Amino acid sequence: MLTDEFERELIIKALEKARGVKNKAAQLLGINRTTLIEKMKKRGCLHSIKPI
């Protein structure tokens, strides 16, 4: 589905900008860290970006 891929790309871009720090990425997206992790699992991007 198009919205799933769009959300996945947003998550990946936020993680890149946050250098892999999930708390910061969640803050950039305006969502809770737990919600971010759930979305990452659902969208298959949980291991896409490692913290630096």
- For residue 20, which of 36, 5, 32, 4 has the smallest C-alpha distance? 36
Per-residue pLDDT of the chain (52 residues; tens, 9 = 90+): 788 899 999 999 999 999 999 999 999 999 999 999 999 999 888 765 666 5
Q: How far is residue 29's CA from residue 15's CA, in Å, rounded to a whole number?
A: 10
CA dist list (Å): 38 to 32, 35: 10, 5
Question: For the whole prediction, is pTM greater than 0.85?
Answer: no
Domain boundaries, the chain: 2-43
Q: Is the separation of the CB atoms in 41 and 7 below 8 Å?
A: no
- The CA distance from 40 to 11, in Å, is 7
SS3 35: helix
The domain made up of 2-43 is a member of CATH 3.30.450:
no
